[in-house]
C-alpha cells in the first residue's frame, strides 16, 4: 500500500469515528463555529467536532506541528480535504487567521510574529478579521487612506475600515494602512496586525437590506500599534495583500458545496410551479429549466476544472470565472424563485408566512452582496478580459 | 464520469485535426462551395480508408469498435475547418439504428456497406418546419408481404448524396423505422441548396414499396432507438458547434487585439472587454456540458439529459458568439470574404438540426420533471 493510500484510510477512519453525524449535514445559516476567544457552540456535537479537529491539528493540517498545525504535506492535505468532502463534513470553524493571514505570516512574517500568532490561529483561540475596504476605497482598494503614522516604536492609526466581516467578534485584525502618503499609490501601503482591544478602536455592525449582517465598520481614533506588528517591510503591504487574496480563493474553494447554506433551487421551484397561475406557468417553467441548465453547466465546470487541474492542465482561466458565474447565477435563481413565490415571498417576518419563503426572501436580498463583495462582477470581468484574454487595460 | 479526454481520445482528436487541416482546410471547403459542391467525394473515401465510417461499429461488421465519442471528436475537428463528413448521417443515425434494433440478417445486409463507406445513408424524419420526432405522418401500410410508404419529408440532411434511406413512418398509429434504397420506385427527391452549402433534400413518397425485411423496428422499440440515436447525434452536433464557437471566439479576440480605431486598439474598450469576458464564461460552461455528454455517449452518464444540456447550451452559446463575432468585426464581418460568415451559417444549420436550443431546453424541462407546468 502506498503512503498516500495508507493516509487516506487512516484519515477516513478517524473522521468516521470523530465527526459526529450531526456535523455531516449542511449547516443552517450561521451554523459554523466562529473561532476565537469568544467562541460559542450551539450544540455538544459542534463543540466535539471543533475540539477533536483542533486537537488533531487539522484546523491547519498543512502547517508545521511546532505552530499547532497537522504537519501534513500538500498531497496528504489534499487527501484530507477530499475525505472531509466525501463524508460531507461541515467546516469545523471559520477562522480567517488560518485561512488568510496565517499563510502570509508563514511565508513573510518575522520569527516573533510566527511564534506569537500562529499557534492561537491553529487552535482556533484567536479570531481574526480583515481590514481592507474603506468607505472611500472599494473596487479601487489601492486608493485606501487609513493612515498609520510612525511615532517612535509605534504607528498611530487614524481612519476607518468597512465591510469587515465579524469585526465585532474578532480579537485581532490584519489591516492595510497608508504609511507613506508621498509614495506611489501602491508603494505607500503597509500591513499591520492590530489588537482589537487597543484603545481607540470602535466597531459598528452594519444592517443590510436583508437585515442583520456580519459586516461591520471599524473606526480608528489615534490607535497605537507597536511597530513590531508590521508584516514585512514598509510599503510591502500591497504585495502581501495580493498573496493573501490568493489564499482567500483557496479557502473559499475549500468551503465547498457542503457548507453553503441555502434553498435547493430545483426542489423549491418544483413545489412552487403548480401553485403559479396557469397562464404564466409555461413561461416560468421555461425560465426554471434555463436556470437549472446553467446551474448544471456550472457544476460540471467545477468538476472539469478539478479534473483538468489534477491532470496538470492550466485552469487559471476557468478558476477566474467561477466567482462571476456563481454569484450571477445565484442572483438569477433567487430572482426566479421570488417570481414563482409571488406575494408569498413579499413577507419580511412573522408567522403567517412560510418559514422557507421568509428565508428565501432574505437570501434573495442577500444574493446582491455576492455580486459585489470580494470583487464586483465588473471587476471579475476586468480580470478575465485582461489576465485571461490578454486584452489591454483601458482608461475606464 | 470523467470530463477530460483519455489518451486514445486525444490521439484520435490529433489525427482528425491533422487530416482536416491538411486535406479539407477551410479554403478548400470554401472552394467547394464556390463550385456548387456539397462535399469532397475523394476526401470522404480517404476518411473511409482511415476507418472512420465504421469507427464505432463492432469489428465483425467491419468496424473499429472505438467508443462513440470518437465520432463526436472527429465531428468537432471537422467543424473547425467547416468540413462535411458522412459520419452523422451514415454512422451515428443510420448504422447506429441498425446496430441497436436490426435483426442479424438486416445487419449483415447493411452494416458492412455503411462501415466501409460503400453505402451512404440518410435519416428521413422531419416533416414540419422544426425538428419534431414525435409528429410523423408519413404512413406505412401492409400490402401482402411488403410495405407501402406514402407521405413527405421536408428536410433530409445528406439526402441528395444518400443511396440508402432510413425512414421514420407511422404504422397503425405507432412509430416504425424502415430502411430502403434511396432510388426505390415512387420516391421523388428534390435537392436543397442550404445556407451552409451542405447536402440536403426534400422527399416525396408515393406508393413506395418496401420489402418485408425493410422494417427495422416499430412501436416502443422504434421510438426508443430513434430517441437514442438522435441523442447521440445531438451530442456530435454539440461538439461540432462548440469547436466552431471556439474558432469564432479566438478569431474575434485576435481581431480586437489588432484593429485600431480612434488611435487605440478596439480591445482596450471596456464595453467590448466585458462582452468578450462574458462570452468566455459562457463558452467554458458549454465546453463542460460537451465534455459530460461525451462521457454519456460512451455509456457513462444520463444520455438524454446530457444530450439536451449539451446541445441546448452549445447551441445558445454558439449563436451568441457567432452574432457577436459578426458585430465586433464591424463592416468586414458581413462580407463573404471573411470566414466568420461561413461559420455563422453552419452554426445556424447545426443549431436547427435534431432540435435547436429551445427544443433542447424543453426536453431538459421534461427530463427534470417540470413537464406538468409546460
In angstroms, the CA B195 to CA B268 distance is 34
Are the Cβ atoms of A307 and B257 closer than 8 angstroms?
no
Residue A289: its chain B contacts at CB < 8 A? 361-362, 364-365, 368, 370
Same domain, residue pair A383 and A335? yes
Q: Are B310 and B285 in contact (CB under 8 A)?
A: no
- Confidence class of residue A256 from pLDDT cuts 50, 70 and 90? very low
Tell me which residue range forms the domain holding B234.
Answer: 222-373
pLDDT at A384 over 90: yes
In angstroms, the CA B293 to CA B304 distance is 9
Same domain, residue pair A221 and A279? no
In angstroms, the CA B72 to CA B88 distance is 9
Same domain, residue pair A115 and A31? yes
Same domain, residue pair B252 and B211? no
Beta-bridged to residue B203, according to DSSP, are: B153, B189
Let me know if residue A69 belongs to a domain.
yes
Let me know if residue A337 belongs to a domain.
yes
Same domain, residue pair A272 and A374? yes
Model confidence pLDDT, tens digit, residues B226-275: 999 999 999 999 999 999 999 999 999 999 999 999 999 999 999 999 99
Same domain, residue pair A115 and A136? no
Same domain, residue pair B32 and B127? no
What is the predicted pLDDT for the residue at A394? 64
Q: Which of B195, B217, B239 is the last residue of a domain?
A: B217
Q: Which of A235, A252, A282 is the last residue of a domain?
A: A235
A153's grid cell = 516604536
Same domain, residue pair B42 and B76? yes
- Choose the catalytic residue: A248, A328, A332, A335: A248
Q: Are B161 and B38 in contact (CB under 8 A)?
A: yes
Own/partner pairs for A106-115, CB < 8 Å, 24+ apart? A106/A63, A106/A67, A107/A243, A108/A231, A108/A232, A108/A236, A108/A240, A108/A243, A109/A231, A110/A228, A112/A228, A113/A193, A113/A228, A113/A229, A113/A231, A114/A67, A115/A67
Are the Cβ atoms of A300 and B370 closer than 8 angstroms?
no
Angle at A206 between CA A200 and CA A210, to 5 degrees: 170
Q: Are B365 and B374 in contact (CB under 8 A)?
A: yes
Beta-bridged to residue A160, according to DSSP, are: A219
CA A377 to chain centre: 16
Q: Are B283 and B249 in contact (CB under 8 A)?
A: yes
Over residues A257-262, the mean pLDDT reads 49
**Selected residue of A306, A378, A381, A387 to mutate for chain B interface (largest B Cβ count, 10 A):** A381
DSSP label at B212? G
Model confidence pLDDT, tens digit, residues B150-160: 999 999 999 99
In angstroms, the CA A371 to CA A373 distance is 6
Distance from CA of A53 to the nearest CA of B (A): 32
Residue of B nearest to A321 (CA): B281
CA nearest to B317, candidates B346, B279, B271, B272? B279
3-state secondary structure of B289: helix
Q: Is B146 on the interface with A (CB under 8 A)?
A: no
User: Which residues touch A94 (CB under 8 Å, ≥6 apart)?
Assistant: A32, A33, A34, A35, A166
Q: Are B168 and B131 in contact (CB under 8 A)?
A: no
Same domain, residue pair A218 and A117? no
Handedness of CA B353, B355, B358, B360 (dihedral sign): negative
Same domain, residue pair A352 and A266? yes
Residue A297: its chain B contacts at CB < 8 A? 285-286, 288-289, 309, 313
Q: Are A282 and B361 in contact (CB under 8 A)?
A: no
Q: What is the CATH number of the domain that holds B197?
A: 2.40.110.10
B43's grid cell = 476526401
Over residues B53-61, the mean pLDDT reads 90
What is the predicted pLDDT for the residue at A250? 63
Helix (H) or strand (E) holding B181: strand B174-181
What is the predicted pLDDT for the residue at A31? 81
Model confidence pLDDT, tens digit, residues A62-72: 999 999 999 99
In angstroms, the CA A224 to CA A201 distance is 10
**Selected residue of B277, B289, B324 to mutate for chain A interface (largest A Cβ count, 10 A):** B277
Same domain, residue pair A180 and A111? no
Let me know if residue B69 belongs to a domain.
yes
Let me know if residue A245 belongs to a domain.
no
- Confidence class of residue A45 from pLDDT cuts 50, 70 and 90? very high
Model confidence pLDDT, tens digit, residues B293-329: 999 999 999 999 999 999 999 999 999 999 999 999 9
Nearest to A384 among B280, B361, B362 (CB): B280
Q: What is the CATH number of the domain that holds A367?
A: 1.20.140.10
Helix (H) or strand (E) holding A207: none
Distance from CA of B260 to the nearest CA of A (A): 12
Let me know if residue A7 belongs to a domain.
yes
Model confidence pLDDT, tens digit, residues A283-320: 999 999 999 999 999 999 999 999 999 899 999 999 99
Q: Which of A122, A155, A182 is the last residue of a domain?
A: A122
Let me know if residue A228 belongs to a domain.
yes
Residue A274: its chain B contacts at CB < 8 A? 372-373
Are the Cβ atoms of B288 and A388 closer than 8 angstroms?
no
HSE-CB for A293 with a 13 A CA cutoff: 34
Same domain, residue pair A266 and A383? yes
Same domain, residue pair A290 and A369? yes
Query: Is A295 known to be catalytic?
Result: no
DSSP assignments along A223-244, one per residue: EEEEGGGEESSTT-HHHHHHHH
In angstroms, the CA B189 to CA B181 distance is 12
Over residues A72-85, the mean pLDDT reads 91
In angstroms, the CA A390 to CA A396 distance is 16
Instruction: Count structural domains, chain A.
Output: 3
Distance from CA of A174 to the nearest CA of B (A): 33
- Confidence class of residue A396 from pLDDT cuts 50, 70 and 90? very low
User: Which residues touch A16 (CB under 8 Å, ≥6 apart)?
Assistant: A87
Same domain, residue pair A316 and A382? yes
Let me know if residue A395 belongs to a domain.
no
What is the predicted pLDDT for the residue at A210? 93
pLDDT at A255 over 50: no
Over residues B182-199, the mean pLDDT reads 98
Over residues B215-223, the mean pLDDT reads 98
Nearest to A391 among B267, B278, B361 (CB): B267
Same domain, residue pair B284 and B348? yes
Are the Cβ atoms of A300 and B292 closer than 8 angstroms?
yes
Beta-bridged to residue B202, according to DSSP, are: B190
Q: Is B254 on the interface with A (CB under 8 A)?
A: no
Q: Which of A220, A235, A250 is the last residue of a domain?
A: A235
In angstroms, the CA B141 to CA B176 distance is 11
**Selected residue of A270, A278, A297, A308 to mutate for chain B interface (largest B Cβ count, 10 A):** A297
Same domain, residue pair B143 and B255? no
**B345: alpha, beta or left? (left if phi > 0; alpha if psi -120 to 50):** alpha
Nearest to A290 among B276, B281, B361 (CB): B361
Burial of residue B349 (number of CB atoms within 10 Å: 0-12, 13-18, 19+) = middle
What is the predicted pLDDT for the residue at A258? 42
What is the predicted pLDDT for the residue at A257? 44
Angle at B272 between CA B270 and CA B273, to 5 degrees: 60
Distance from CA of B285 to the nearest CA of A (A): 5
pLDDT at A80 over 80: yes
Q: What is the CATH number of the domain that holds A186?
A: 2.40.110.10
Handedness of CA B32, B37, B41, B42 (dihedral sign): negative
Q: Are B269 and A385 in contact (CB under 8 A)?
A: no
pLDDT at A59 over 50: yes
What is the predicted pLDDT for the residue at A262? 64
Q: Is A298 on the interface with B (CB under 8 A)?
A: yes
What is the predicted pLDDT for the residue at A251? 62
Same domain, residue pair B67 and B190? no
Distance from CA of A215 to the nearest CA of B (A): 29
Model confidence pLDDT, tens digit, residues A107-160: 999 999 999 999 999 999 999 999 999 999 998 999 999 999 999 999 999 999
Q: At what angle do helices A44-56 and A3-18 cross, to 10 degrees?
A: 150
**Average per-residue pLDDT in chain B?**
97
pLDDT at A266 over 70: yes
Q: Classify the complex by whether its ipTM is higher than 0.90, answering yes or no.
A: yes
pLDDT at A259 over 60: no
Same domain, residue pair B129 and B247? no
Residues 168-187 of A with CB under 8 A from B: none
Let me know if residue A180 belongs to a domain.
yes
Per the listing, cell 482596450 goes with: B268
What is the predicted pLDDT for the residue at B60? 87
Residue of B nearest to A325 (CA): B281
Same domain, residue pair A337 and A291? yes
Instruction: Count structural domains, chain B.
Output: 3
Q: How many helices (H) and strands (E) does chain B have?
A: 11, 10
Tell me which residue range forms the domain holding A342.
Answer: 262-388
Same domain, residue pair B286 and B242? yes
Q: What is the CATH number of the domain that holds B311?
A: 1.20.140.10
Let me know if residue A44 belongs to a domain.
yes
DSSP label at B88? I
Q: Which of B217, B239, B258 is the last residue of a domain?
A: B217
Per the listing, cell 506541528 goes with: A65
Residue B373: its chain A contacts at CB < 8 A? 273-274, 276, 281-282, 284-285, 288
Q: What is the CATH number of the domain that holds A56?
A: 1.10.540.10
Nearest to A321 among B273, B280, B309 (CB): B280
Are the Cβ atoms of B286 and A297 closer than 8 angstroms?
yes
Q: Which of B166, B187, B217 is the last residue of a domain?
A: B217
Amino acid at each position: 500500500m502506498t503512503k498516500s493510500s495508507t493516509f487516506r484510510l487512516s484519515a477516513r477512519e478517524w473522521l468516521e469515528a470523530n465527526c459526529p453525524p450531526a456535523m455531516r449535514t449542511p449547516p443552517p445559516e450561521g451554523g459554523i463555529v466562529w473561532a476565537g476567544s469568544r467562541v460559542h457552540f450551539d450544540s455538544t456535537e459542534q463543540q466535539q467536532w471543533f475540539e477533536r479537529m483542533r486537537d488533531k491539528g487539522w484546523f491547519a493540517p498543512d502547517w508545521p506541528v511546532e505552530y499547532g498545525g497537522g504537519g501534513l504535506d500538500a498531497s496528504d492535505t489534499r487527501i484530507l480535504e477530499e475525505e472531509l468532502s466525501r463524508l460531507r463534513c461541515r467546516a469545523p470553524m471559520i477562522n480567517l487567521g488560518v485561512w488568510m493571514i496565517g499563510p502570509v505570516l508563514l511565508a513573510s512574517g518575522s520569527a516573533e510574529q510566527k511564534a506569537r500568532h500562529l499557534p492561537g490561529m491553529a487552535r482556533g483561540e484567536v479570531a481574526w478579521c480583515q481590514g481592507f475596504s474603506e468607505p472611500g476605497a472599494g473596487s479601487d482598494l489601492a486608493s485606501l487612506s487609513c493612515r498609520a503614522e510612525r511615532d517612535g516604536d509605534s504607528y498611530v492609526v487614524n481612519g476607518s475600515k468597512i465591510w469587515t466581516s465579524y469585526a465585532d467578534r474578532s480579537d485581532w485584525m490584519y489591516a492595510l494602512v497608508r504609511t507613506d502618503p508621498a509614495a506611489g499609490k501602491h508603494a505607500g501601503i503597509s500591513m499591520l496586525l492590530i489588537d482589537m482591544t487597543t484603545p481607540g478602536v470602535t466597531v459598528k455592525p452594519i444592517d443590510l437590506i436583508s437585515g442583520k449582517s456580519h459586516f461591520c465598520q471599524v473606526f480608528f481614533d489615534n490607535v497605537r500599534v507597536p511597530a513590531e506588528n508590521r508584516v514585512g517591510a514598509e510599503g510591502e503591504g500591497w504585495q502581501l495583500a495580493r498573496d493573501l487574496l490568493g489564499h482567500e480563493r483557496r479557502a473559499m474553494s475549500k468551503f465547498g458545496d457542503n457548507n453553503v447554506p441555502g434553498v435547493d433551487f430545483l426542489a423549491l421551484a418544483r413545489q412552487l410551479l403548480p401553485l403559479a397561475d396557469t397562464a404564466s406557468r409555461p413561461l416560468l417553467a421555461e425560465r426554471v429549466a434555463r436556470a437549472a441548465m446553467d446551474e448544471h453547466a456550472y457544476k460540471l465546470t467545477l468538476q472539469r476544472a478539478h479534473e483538468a487541474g489534477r491532470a496538470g492542465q492550466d485552469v487559471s482561466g476557468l478558476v477566474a470565472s467561477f466567482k462571476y458565474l456563481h454569484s450571477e447565477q445565484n442572483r438569477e435563481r433567487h430572482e426566479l424563485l421570488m417570481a414563482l413565490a409571488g406575494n408569498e415571498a413579499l413577507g419580511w417576518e412573522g408567522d403567517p408566512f412560510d418559514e422557507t419563503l421568509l428565508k428565501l426572501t432574505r437570501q434573495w436580498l442577500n444574493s446582491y452582496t455576492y455580486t459585489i463583495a470580494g470583487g464586483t462582477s465588473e471587476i471579475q470581468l476586468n480580470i478575465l478580459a485582461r489576465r485571461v484574454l490578454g486584452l489591454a487595460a483601458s482608461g475606464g | 464520469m470523467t470530463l477530460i479526454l483519455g489518451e486514445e481520445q486525444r490521439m484520435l482528436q490529433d489525427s482528425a485535426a491533422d487530416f482536416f487541416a491538411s486535406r479539407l482546410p477551410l479554403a478548400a471547403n470554401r472552394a467547394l462551395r464556390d463550385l456548387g459542391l456539397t462535399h469532397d467525394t475523394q476526401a470522404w473515401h480517404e476518411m473511409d480508408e482511415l476507418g472512420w465510417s465504421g469507427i464505432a461499429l463492432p469489428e465483425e461488421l467491419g468496424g473499429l469498435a472505438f467508443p462513440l465519442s470518437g465520432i463526436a471528436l472527429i465531428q468537432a475537428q471537422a467543424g473547425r475547418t467547416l468540413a462535411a463528413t458522412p459520419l452523422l448521417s451514415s454512422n451515428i443515425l443510420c448504422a447506429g439504428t441498425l446496430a441497436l434494433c436490426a435483426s442479424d440478417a438486416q445487419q449483415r445486409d447493411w452494416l458492412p456497406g455503411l462501415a466501409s463507406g460503400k453505402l451512404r445513408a440518410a435519416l428521413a424524419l422531419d416533416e414540419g418546419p422544426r425538428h419534431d420526432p414525435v409528429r410523423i405522418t408519413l404512413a406505412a401500410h401492409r400490402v401482402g408481404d411488403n410495405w407501402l410508404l406514402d407521405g413527405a419529408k421536408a428536410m433530409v440532411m445528406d439526402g441528395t448524396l444518400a443511396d440508402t434511406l432510413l425512414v421514420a413512418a407511422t404504422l397503425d398509429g405507432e412509430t416504425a423505422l424502415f430502411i430502403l434504397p434511396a432510388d426505390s420506385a415512387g420516391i421523388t427527391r428534390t435537392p436543397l441548396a442550404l445556407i451552409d452549402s451542405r447536402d440536403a433534400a426534400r422527399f416525396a413518397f408515393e406508393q413506395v414499396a418496401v420489402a418485408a425485411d425493410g422494417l427495422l423496428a416499430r412501436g416502443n422499440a422504434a421510438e426508443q432507438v430513434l430517441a437514442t440515436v438522435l441523442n447521440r447525434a445531438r451530442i456530435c452536433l454539440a461538439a461540432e458547434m462548440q469547436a466552431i464557437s471556439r474558432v469564432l471566439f479566438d478569431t474575434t479576440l485576435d481581431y480586437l487585439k489588432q484593429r485600431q480605431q480612434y488611435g487605440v486598439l478596439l480591445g482596450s474598450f471596456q464595453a467590448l472587454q466585458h462582452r468578450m469576458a462574458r462570452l468566455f464564461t459562457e463558452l467554458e460552461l458549454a465546453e463542460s456540458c460537451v465534455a459530460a455528454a461525451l462521457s454519456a455517449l460512451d455509456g457513462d452518464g444520463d444520455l438524454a439529459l446530457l444530450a439536451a444540456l449539451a446541445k441546448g447550451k452549445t447551441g445558445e452559446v454558439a449563436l451568441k458568439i457567432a452574432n457577436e463575432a459578426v458585430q465586433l468585426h464591424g463592416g468586414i464581418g458581413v462580407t463573404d470574404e471573411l470566414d466568420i460568415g461561413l461559420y455563422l451559417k453552419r452554426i445556424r444549420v447545426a443549431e436547427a438540426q435534431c432540435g435547436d436550443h429551445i427544443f433542447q431546453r424543453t426536453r431538459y424541462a421534461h427530463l427534470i420533471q417540470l413537464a406538468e407546468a409546460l
